[in-house]
Structure formats: C-alpha cells, structure tokens
A and B are shown apart, each in its own frame.
Chain A
Amino acid sequence: MNRIHFYSLIFILSLLGLSIFFYKVAVLGFPLNPEEQSEVWNVETRITFQGKGETAKISMFTPQSIRPYVVTTESFVGQDYGVTEKTEGPNRLVTWSTREADGVQILYYRGIIRQMKDWETDIEEFIESPPPSQESQGKLPPLEGAFLQAGMALLGEVKDQSADTESLVLSLIRRLTKEEPAPHEALLLSQQPPEQAIAQVLTLNGTPARVVHGIELSREAKTVTLKVWLEVSEQNTWVPFDLELIQKGIPDPYLPWWRGDAPLFQIEGGTKLEFRLSVSPNQEKAIQAAVARGMVMNPAWLKFSLFSLPVETQVVYHILILIPVGAFLLVILRNVVGLKTFGTFMPILIALAFRETQLLWGLILFSMLIGLGLAVRFYLDHLKLLLVPRLAAVLIVVVLMMGALSVFSHHLGIVRGLSVALFPMVIVTMTIERMSIVWDERGPVEALQQAIGSLSVAALTYLLMSLQIMDYLFFTFPELLLILLAFTIALGRYTGYRLLEIRRFQRLLEQP
C-alpha cells in the first residue's frame, strides 16, 4: 500500500469535488441556501382574432435579451398552429400559421425574463444590437417634399442651439412633444408619431436613430403598455433617450421588444385582432433561476447535471443521492464510534422507510413488526423447518402483518399506519432471522442491544437524511459526493481506537 498514492487519491478527489462546487457557487451563482429567492418577470401576450375559415398567418415581434436581462423559457402556444422563428434586421419575429382558422382563435406567447449576475453578462446570448448603420435602424421612411423642407428647417433651428448630439436630441424631443407644436413641427407630426419624426430629422443630420418599442420591468405588478423610446447613435453605440422624461437613458429596467415603426402584429386571414400584454414580477427559487441562467451561459455543463433529468427521475435521485450520506454516517458510527448493527446497510434501508412513516411512527411500526415477527419465528422453530422455507414463511407472515397493520390503522384513522407498506420486507425478515439467532446463541440481552443499536443508527441516519439542507446541497452539488468518497476512503485506513473501545478496555485504563 503506497501512502503517497493513497493520500494523493484522497487529495485529488477532494480537490475535484471542491473545485466543481466552488465553480458552481461562485461562477454559476448556485445559491447555498435553498430558500434564497430571485426575481423574475413573466411576460405573456394573449392574442385573439376572428378566423375567416381560410389560411391564417400571424406574425409578432418577440422581446430581446439586453444586458443584463435575458429572455428564457419561451413558449408559443396555439392549437393547430405551426410556429417559426426568425431574425429580421434588428428584430426577432415569430410566425404562427395554420391551414384553416375558423371562429375565435387564441394564441399565447410566454417568456420568463431573468436578470443575469454582473459576471454572467459577457456571453453571446445577448444579440449585440448591430452597430449603428442604415440597416440596423429598422424601416424608416425618408422625408419627402414639404415634410423634408419642414424637417430641414427644424433641424437648422435646433442645431444652432445645441452643442452636441445629446443636446440636439433633447431639444428635438422637447419641440416635437410639445402640447401645441409650432408650424413646422405640426406638419411633421401630422402624419406620424413624434418618435418617428425625431428619428427622421436626426437621420437628416446624418445621425443614425431608431424607434424602439419595449416594456418596463417594474417591481410591482401592473398592467403594462408598450413603451416607446428612441435610440440614437453616439460614438458608434446605441444610446436610449426617454421621450416622456426628456432625458438620456431610461431610469427603470426595460426590455426592448422590437425596433422600427412596424406594428407589433401582422395578420393575414383574420380580423378583429386583439391582444393583451402582461408583465408580472415573480419570485422564484434562486436555484431554479441559476439553473435557467446556466442553461443560457453554459448549456453543455448543465446538460450533465441532475436538473436536466425528467422531473419524476429527479424525485428518485433526491432520495438516492442521500444514501451515500447515510452510508458515510454508518461508517462513522460503526468504525469510529463502534456501534453494532444487524447487517451492514440495514439501518440505511430502515432510515429510507422512515422518510415515509416519519420517525416516531417508523420506530413504533418497525418495533411492532420485528416483535411480532420474532414471536412467529420462535413458534416456527418448533416445527423444525429448513432454513430457506422458514425464511420464506417469515417473509409471508411479515407481509401479512404489514397488510393487517395497514388495515387496522386505516380503520382507526391513523394515516401513518398505512406507510408500514414501505418497509423493506426482505430486510425486516432477515433482521428477524438474525435477531433470533443472536437471541438463541448470545442471549436476549445481546439481541436487544443489537436491535436498539440498529434502530438508533437508523434513526440518526434518518435525521441526517431528512435535513432539507442535505437534500438540497447534495442534489444541487452532487460533486460533494466526491468529497464524501475521499473522506470515506480516508476513514478506510483509520486505525485509531473506536469510541466504545474506551468502555471495552475500561479495566485496563483504571490500572495504576
């Protein structure tokens, strides 16, 4: 046995476990506390229209990820509708289409918006708005004729009064959003909304500008209307300008939905289109948020995590992942403390059954089963049966007793009594057999001692395994099992005394 080999194995296992653990905590932002909450927004649009009984096609822009917000878990719901997604200029477009739409049609778009942590924003998922250029402005019809003249005149006036792009934009906003606009402005506003007029005038100046429709992400739930603002090119990046507050930048968290003057929807083969938009802030477990953000950041990494499993399989692993924890406790209780149990892993299986029965009822039911089973076993002894048939007979009786206990407790209205069915009956049978042998060979005292030892180990294991934090930590960070493995291997070479050996060798300690 090479000591260097041994210790380096332990070291490598712990290091590996710890590194993955810290990576997940520090980089992926997995919370250590299962109760930690994180804020998300649920976005939903509900679209209804009247079908004409012919082919229908609805297009809608969808919200876009912008630092530090990311749109995840999108779903497009429409019965009998095909869905296609594509990118169109600076926008994302989803199209529902169906062969025949008759009567009232309902379509849903849902998405969850999450705020990324500061260090997570350096990722490709954010479709970086293309740098300001003609194409990235969306469709902006150029000014013509009298409108062009009015625009040039307005630009000339404003330009004289402003020092830089920012002041130019702000004074344009001020002039074009006035309650009673001057003649030039009135002409410009006669056929289009102010934001588009401002963008057009800025384009005349050679400054790229575009109209943005989006939503505010507020902390309070409220009905949401689409907000319109302006993005102006400044030093080759898009800078937002708030039209209502007449200022650079938008104070509230916001999310752009689409850019340009196009309407949110385009419909073919339908009438009476209505839509309702809702944005509701929501709390979700921070761990779910971390997993979802992780999927965005590094999907390959999470593809191999337990969270990627189907939910019902996850439930199984919530239990399985805790068995090693119980086994580790068992190693400590047996090899470091020195407790004796029936069978090596029997207490763990009993502890698993306690998960369903709860501790007190588990102990009561288990003791009843073992006690009744022992009585039957002692009776069977008189019949001089061979070992395997006798074991099978005890097993059958155990199953009968479990059934009887369930029925009785059900009629007495004790719900917990039903969970007796979850005891591992083969383990119960073997425990009865071994206990009766110890009883015969070593006396009832030793048998009861071992039984109580086994039960207390099972109870301790159950208490440890039922800690919510254990379940959470080991399920979220299965790499902790590597550390557990390292400790278990280390304990495998523990040659020190066991705690109960102090009592065993008491006599020698009392020597002068």
Chain B
Amino acid sequence: MTILKAYSQLSELGILGLNHRNAVYTLGFNERRFYPLVDDKVRTKSLCSEAGVAVPALYGTIEIERQVRDLPHIVAEQTEFVIKPAHGSGGDGIIVIKGQVKDKYRKANGVMISLEDLQHHISNVLSGMYSLGGATDTALIEYCVNFDPIFESISYQGVPDIRIIVCCGVPVMSMVRLPTRMSDGKANLHQGALGVGLDLATGTTLTAVLLNDVVTEHPDTANPVTGIKIPNWTDLLTLASRCYDIFHLGYLGVDIVLDKEYGPLLLEVNARPGLNIQIANQAGLLPRLNLVTNRACDLPDVHARVAFAIEHFHT
C-alpha cells in the first residue's frame, strides 16, 4: 500500500519516471536516424559550427592508433586542453589537462600524468572502451573551458555546466551542476556533484540538492549557491532552443558552459537526458512537458518558443 501511495504521490508531483521518459519522450519524440548527430560529438560540433552556435574550439581528432603519437604536436601550442571520446556518455573517459611540466601533464585535480599514460588513455578511447556497445571510437582534443567567474566561488575543480531540457524546441527545465570534491570534479549528480535548480524565466539559482539533501551552500567552498543570476540568460535559452532546429530531436538535454572569454559554449547534446534535474529543481517535468506538447508544439520560431518558456515556466 505504501508503494502505491508513493506512486500516486510521485504522479501528483508530475515526476517523470525512466520508463515514461523512454517510452513516450525518447522513443516518441526522437527519431532514431537523428541520434548519430548528437551521439557523435565530432558531428555535433561541426553541425553547431555550421549553424553559428559557439562550441569549444577543436584542436584535433585522433581516429586511428597510428595518430596517437601525434598528440604532442596537436597540443604543442596549448597548455590546457580536454580529451574526450566522441561517443562517450555520462562524462566517462574525459581527461582535463590544466598544465604541462616538461614531459608531464597536470590534470584538473592536480595529479601529474605522463605522455605515455595519456596516449594509452587515447588508445582505450579508440578501441571503444567508453562507447556504447564497444564500437571503435574517435578521440577529440578540444579547448579547455575557462569558466565564467560567476561560478568561481561555488565549484570545486572541474567545469560547472548548465543543463537545459528542451521539448519541441521549448526549454522546459534547467539546472546548474557544480562539481564538488566528492564528485572528483565531475558534474555528475550521482557521484555527489551539486545540482542547483534554475528559474527558467530569469536564470536565477534556486535551492541546491547534494545527493538527497537540500543545501544552500557549496559543501567545499561554503559559499551560498542560491540567488545567483546567470548573465544573458535569454541567450542561453535561445541557444538551447536552436538545438531543436539543428538536431531535429523533439526531446533533448543541452549542456552549456559559460566561458570567461567566449561566453556560452555548447558542450554537448543528449538525446536521453537524465531525470535528476527534477531533484535539483524539486519539481516534476510532466506538467511542463504536457503544457508544451499540448500548446507549443508548432510555434513558428526560436523567439516564440523562448517567449513561451519564459512566460509559462516562471518559478
């Protein structure tokens, strides 16, 4: 009985469950043929560049084992860079290099790593260790984001990112993920990153959730995380909404980082965005999704969609 009660409570709150997301949203709104556009980060990047959406600059790609030895050349002029698998998911297989000391590289957490180790990691990426189904993969070497000082006081290593869920091109919910010591600099809520809900209309941070607890300050820096307003919020919403036109996916999660120099950069697009955003926002997705699918599925352009979101999803 308590289980049924919990189910009805979840349903009253409009919580979207995994089965519901899979059956109705990812299967119903996303056509299979468009998945490769977002699953392959190289294609995502080039499509975005064509459409004029800013992405972190690509220094090079490594596609075959032979090219692994070219790594020093690719990063010769960079002290900071990121290596990531083109088909990775959930942040697996990403290495962030923040500096170079002689023939050693310094990772974001300060640990030194040899060139050999780095090349071995790339070999693993190429052989498909991090890709779905173990298919051979490509490694990307790209610009390492210098995040906007706005998050400086409330993140621990790693890169804080902003996730916006977009349904039929209308932004419906968003959050900021702040890395902590516990999450080892990763922006993954399972592993202890801080999830902060955002007011979709204004881009102001609401309460934060750490694992299952509501908190008001960052666990490592002790600075308050609520009430911070993200600058140029409407630009971010517009960017997220445009992904619908670029990738033709009706239900997606857009990950954006704020760079000190280049402003908002699109990091990646996810065709199966997770459900934790509901915990961070302490609100269910379903009422918002229903509103969009009933009333906003054929809005004419990006501006109309963003306006709809700002009007209806004010917290």
A→B interface (CB under 8 Å): 335, 338, 384, 386-388, 437, 441-443, 446, 492-499, 501-502, 504-509, 511
Closest to A440 in B: B92
- Smallest distance from the beta carbon of B38 to chain A beta carbons, Å? 21
With beta carbons under 8 angstroms apart, the residue of A335, A502, A507 that contacts B279 is A507
Q: How far is the CA of A351 from the CA of B284 in the complex (A)?
A: 38
B222 CB-CB contact with A under 8 Å: no
CB–CB A501/B92 < 8 A? no
B123 CB-CB contact with A under 8 Å: yes
CB–CB A507/B7 < 8 A? no
Q: Can you name 9 A-B pairs with beta carbons within 8 Å?
A: A386-B65, A387-B127, A494-B23, A497-B19, A502-B6, A504-B279, A507-B279, A509-B10, A511-B13
Within 8 A of A (CB), among B10-37: 10-11, 13, 15, 17-20, 23-24
Q: Beyond A437-B129, A495-B23, A497-B15, is A442–B190 a contact (Cβ under 8 Å)?
A: yes
- Smallest distance from the beta carbon of B224 to chain A beta carbons, Å? 20
Q: Beyond A437-B92, A508-B282, is A387–B6 a contact (Cβ under 8 Å)?
A: no
CB–CB A508/B13 < 8 A? yes
CB–CB B17/A495 < 8 A? yes
Chain A contacts for B124, CB-based, 8 A: 386-387
Closest to A493 in B: B23
Q: Beyond A335-B19, A496-B19, is A505–B191 a contact (Cβ under 8 Å)?
A: no
CB–CB B10/A497 < 8 A? yes
Chain A contacts for B20, CB-based, 8 A: 495-497
B205 CB-CB contact with A under 8 Å: no
Chain A contacts for B7, CB-based, 8 A: 496-497, 502
CB–CB B18/A338 < 8 A? yes
CB–CB B212/A495 < 8 A? no
Interface size on B, residues (CB 8 A): 38
CB–CB A386/B279 < 8 A? no
Q: How far is the CA of A499 from the CA of B19 in the complex (A)?
A: 11
Chain B contacts for A496, CB-based, 8 A: 7, 17, 19-20
| Given A386-B127, A509-B6, 9 other A-B residues pairs in contact with their CB atoms under 8 A | A387-B134, A388-B127, A437-B129, A441-B92, A495-B20, A497-B7, A497-B20, A502-B3, A505-B10
Chain A contacts for B278, CB-based, 8 A: 505, 508
With beta carbons under 8 angstroms apart, the residue of B13, B129, B209, B212 that contacts A387 is B129
Chain A contacts for B19, CB-based, 8 A: 335, 494-498
Chain B contacts for A437, CB-based, 8 A: 92, 129-130
Q: How far is the CA of A388 from the CA of B130 in the complex (A)?
A: 13
B120 CB-CB contact with A under 8 Å: yes
Q: How far is the CA of A508 from the CA of B282 in the complex (A)?
A: 6
With beta carbons under 8 angstroms apart, the residue of A335, A387, A442 that contacts B128 is A387
B152 CB-CB contact with A under 8 Å: no
Chain A contacts for B93, CB-based, 8 A: 441
Chain A contacts for B130, CB-based, 8 A: 437
Q: How far is the CA of A437 from the CA of B125 in the complex (A)?
A: 12
Kindly supply a per-residue 1/0 record for chain B positions 274-308, scoring 1 wherever the CB is within 8 Å of any chain A CB and 0 otherwise: 01001100101000000000000000000000000
CB–CB B18/A501 < 8 A? yes
B42 CB-CB contact with A under 8 Å: no
Chain B contacts for A386, CB-based, 8 A: 65, 123-124, 127
Q: Beyond A495-B23, A497-B7, is A507–B214 a contact (Cβ under 8 Å)?
A: yes
Chain B contacts for A388, CB-based, 8 A: 127
**Residue in B65, B209, B279 whose Cβ sees the most chain A Cβ within 10 Å:** B279
- Smallest distance from the beta carbon of A444 to chain B beta carbons, Å? 12
Closest to B2 in A: A502
CB–CB A443/B191 < 8 A? yes
CB–CB B191/A509 < 8 A? no
Chain B contacts for A498, CB-based, 8 A: 17-19
- Smallest distance from the beta carbon of A186 to chain B beta carbons, Å? 92
- Smallest distance from the beta carbon of A386 to chain B beta carbons, Å? 5
B116 CB-CB contact with A under 8 Å: yes
Q: How far is the CA of A445 from the CA of B17 in the complex (A)?
A: 24
Closest to B276 in A: A504
Within 8 A of A (CB), among B97-152: 116-117, 120, 123-124, 127-130, 134
Give 3 closest A-B pairs by Cβ, nearest first: A387-B127, A384-B120, A495-B20
Q: How far is the CA of A307 from the CA of B109 in the complex (A)?
A: 65
With beta carbons under 8 angstroms apart, the residue of B23, B65, B92, B209 that contacts A507 is B209
With beta carbons under 8 angstroms apart, the residue of A384, A495, A501, A502 that contacts B24 is A495
B9 CB-CB contact with A under 8 Å: yes
Kindly supply a per-residue 1/0 record for chain B positions 74-108, scoring 1 wherever the CB is within 8 Å of any chain A CB and 0 otherwise: 00000000000000000011000000000000000
Chain A contacts for B129, CB-based, 8 A: 387, 437
Q: How far is the CA of A496 from the CA of B17 in the complex (A)?
A: 7
Chain B contacts for A501, CB-based, 8 A: 10, 15, 17-18
- Smallest distance from the beta carbon of A506 to chain B beta carbons, Å? 6
CB–CB A505/B279 < 8 A? yes
With beta carbons under 8 angstroms apart, the residue of B15, B65, B134, B190 that contacts A505 is B15
Q: How far is the CA of A437 from the CA of B124 in the complex (A)?
A: 11
